[in-house]
Amino acid sequence: MSLSTEEIIEIAEKHLMGNVSRYPLALVRGRGMQLWDAEGRQYTDFLAGIATCALGYAPEIVVRALAGQAAKLIHVSNYFYTEPLVRLAALLTGSSGLGKVFFGNSGAEANEAAIKLARKYSRDLYGPGRHGLITARGSFHGRTLGTISATGQAKVKEGFEPLLPGFTHVPFGDVEALRAAVGPETCAVMLEPVQGESGVIVPPPDYLPRVAELCAENRLLLILDEVQTGLGRTGRPYGFMHYEGLKPHIITLAKALGGGVATGAMLAVDEVAGHLSPGSHSTTVGGAPLAMAVGLVMAETILEGGFLAQVQETGAYFLDRLKETARELGPDLAREARGQGLLLALELTRPAGPVVAEMIKRGFIVNATAGAVLRFAPPLIVAKADIDRMIPVLKEAVKTVYPA
């Protein structure tokens, strides 16, 4: 007999560590845009497991890939080759223009690998002492010790000091501040194309191209953390592809790549990738056949055919509806709507958390981040009809929580 929500929460409170704040909701199944709790209540999801379930819940192609691969080979040592591994590697390198890929288990692990590769490359070419990375204030790169050191948010670092040395944080979108931070110890610049966790911050249109020029002038590597923006989230295959001619040295992926199955990837141009020699970096489960089989169907679906044209169209429509919502709520409640593709935000003038709780009561899952920001990262299959159902509920939820 299945457990009730109350029973599930009671067990959780006894046995789970308190490192995550959870809503009093126990989810048991999903299909497409919809989720159901233990009592059968239905919710429309505009978060997608934090930009992860890019094709929605239980998509048939993923279910078939999981079942088919599980029946053949779930895991094997990375001492050997497998077909799903090499097919996904070829698809990602071909679609990105970067020559080689390393597979791990998460975005944080992909970013750790990128940091290690940047330092190894610089040491091999320039000797010791050139190991510093410049990242942005407000950035988020993961929860490992290395990636919280890279992250430009104090709240994720508290209590974990001393941190990994060698990281400098500058304002996001400010090329001159970045230029001033470059020193003889700098080896790389690491940025997100869009800052997700700090409130969906899109930089000025000339920012990343100018950063790339600065990196070229100073022989620095440009690392783009595409854990959240990669594989279609912004309406392009990769976030850097919004800028003509821009080619980073390293990018990292996760989230949409596995569609909920733990995986991550770091891609690098050939001349940089070659500095990870046998034994210099590895992982036991990264690149396992099960995750690679899922990653392959996720990437094929998102990157091929007309899928991304639909994401661009739906994303533009969604942003227009959010801008309309901001205007209707007025300056006392809403500051602005912003974003790129299907990574969008509505910034309020008051805390967003209570609005999220109210939306859940009304059957919609959204996300609060950066205090007053409502973040929307729905499955990429979201339809205009889903948006049209959600927007009136959102307006009423905000007005209910913050009445005039």
- Catalytic machinery residues: 140, 225, 255
Q: Bridge partners of 195?
A: 201
Token duo for residue 254? 């996760």
Task: Please tell me whether residue 241 adopts helix, strand or coil conformation.
Answer: helix
Contact present, 31 and 58 (Cβ < 8 Å): yes
Please check whether residue 252 is in contact with residue 225, taking contact to mean a CB–CB distance below 8 angstroms.
yes
* Token code pair at residue 204: 């000025």
Sheet with 27-31, side-by-side order of all strands:
27-31, 34-37, 42-45, 364-365
Neighbour-count burial for 255-269, b at 16+ CB within 10 Å, e otherwise: bbbbbbbbbbbbbbb
Q: What is the largest CA-CA distance in the chain?
A: 65
The CA distance from 134 to 214, in Å, is 12
Beta carbons of 55 and 62 less than 8 angstroms apart: yes
Q: Are 297 and 62 in contact (CB under 8 A)?
A: yes
DSSP run (H or E) holding 31? strand 27-31
Contact predicate 249/275, CB 8 Å? no
Distance, in Å, from the CA atom of 119 to the CA atom of 144, rounded to the nearest integer, reads 17
Element (H, E) at 179: helix 175-181
Beta bridge partners of 32: 57
Residue ranges in 274-306 assigned as alpha helix (H): 289-303
Q: Are strands 264-268 and 100-104 parallel, antiparallel or unpaired?
A: antiparallel
Pull the structure tokens for residue 284.
């036991």
Crossing angle of the two packed helices 60-70 and 289-303, in degrees rounded to 10: 150
Cα–Cα distances in angstroms (integers) from residue 125 to residues 67, 118, 128, 133, 163, in the given order: 46, 11, 9, 16, 26
